[in-house]
Amino acid sequence: MAAAACGTPSPPAKTGTGVSNTAIRLGVLSDLSGPFGPLGEAVVQGNQLYVDKLNAAGGVCGRKVELDVQDTGFDTDKAVQLYFKMEPTVLGLLQVVGSDITSKITPDMLQQQVMAAPTSWSSDLLGNPYMVVVGATYDLDVINSFDYLVRQGMLHQGDVIGHIYNDDPEYGGNALLGSQFVADKLGLQLKAIQVAATKTDFTAEIAQLKAAGAKAIAISTYPQQTAVAVGTAAAIGLNVPFLVSNPGFDPSVLASPVGPAFQQLVLVSSSVAPFGAKLPAAEELATAYKAKFPNGKPSMAVDYGYVVGIGYGAILKRACDEGDLTRPGVQKAFHELTGVDTGGLTAPLLFSSSNYPSSRQSFVLRPNPKTAGGLDIVDPLKESDLVRQRIG
């Protein structure tokens, strides 16, 4: 009776690092000022919107979830320092931006059993039991988007396809695996061109692809590079579909001189719904976003950050139900979850096996400056037969 008079007591649960009687603390290592700054900021905003909703509903095990947000500037050395300062104070990481950053802190994460949600869709992360990879991997998104072109009658056996990809093996290199698989299975000729992350002139690469007769081009680069490449193609009359990996699109490009070229040529592949999707869950999120961030810049990354929150929140809730909010307890709960419902923002998420992507389905999206977030759905969530062949 005394406990009831003081409010509802917290459910009994084992606790450890990052968990007190009143709070669950999660870390965020984001890029807020580097090349992925707009994306990182939007993902943090999505994370926060879900945490706000979760806390308003009572939190987890009677505890509020708190975020420790740190800006790495996409600098690996800085990120590593921030991680080691943060690690003793958090249960896990709700966000890590950067494949090199992730790889550098992974050994300690494994030793300390820190569960992290990387802002990455690399299939190289699969198999790590502490990595919460939310959505389809880069290679699967590429496969699903090429499949869309085939279904639209825009690609045929013997056609040439291109792929411009950056030299990050966990981003560009992983996306390239999708193009290679498509070319092999459909009898297409692939012309792949690797570029440095610092490259700013794509004249030669676009000219090569035009000379080769490319009918479609996948591009897996940073947003600024994507803008230059698409603008260059439009300028020399290479008017073919550009299949952009989702980290390579920043909606601000639609207000730039190359905006019209994006509307004409670009399709974006993503396993997460765009900000302006006509879906109840997306519309609810958009309303919450505008209320909390009235001067914010809507983007699909907000929805991704929110979906990561849904997935991580589901893991914490299961760990609570099992009475174990320690790092090992949370990791155990992670691998017991199947079919996490995101309200259609993604396909239901499968976390029970770290060897497989949590989702295999992708949207195909087209840029539209009149839509909040800059993207419309042109093809709903689908898993192509080619993806089934790749996954097995």
Diameter over CA atoms, the chain: 81
What is d(CA 47, CA 297) in angstroms, rounded to the nearest whole number?
15
Run of H or E residues at 260: helix 259-265
| Pair 136, 271: CB distance under 8 Å | yes
State the pairing for strand pair 214-220/266-270. Answer: unpaired
Per-residue model confidence as pLDDT tens for the chain (392 residues): 333 334 444 558 999 999 999 999 999 999 999 888 888 999 999 999 999 999 999 999 999 999 999 999 999 999 999 999 999 999 999 999 988 899 999 999 999 999 999 998 999 999 999 999 999 999 999 999 999 999 999 999 999 999 999 998 989 999 999 999 999 999 999 999 999 989 999 999 999 999 999 999 999 999 999 999 999 999 999 999 999 999 899 999 999 999 999 999 999 999 999 999 999 999 999 999 999 999 999 999 999 999 999 999 999 999 999 999 999 999 999 999 989 999 999 999 999 888 899 999 999 999 999 999 999 999 999 999 999 999 97
Place of tokens 């996409």: 74
> Comparing C-alpha atoms, which of 368, 354, 239, 361 is closest to residue 300?
368
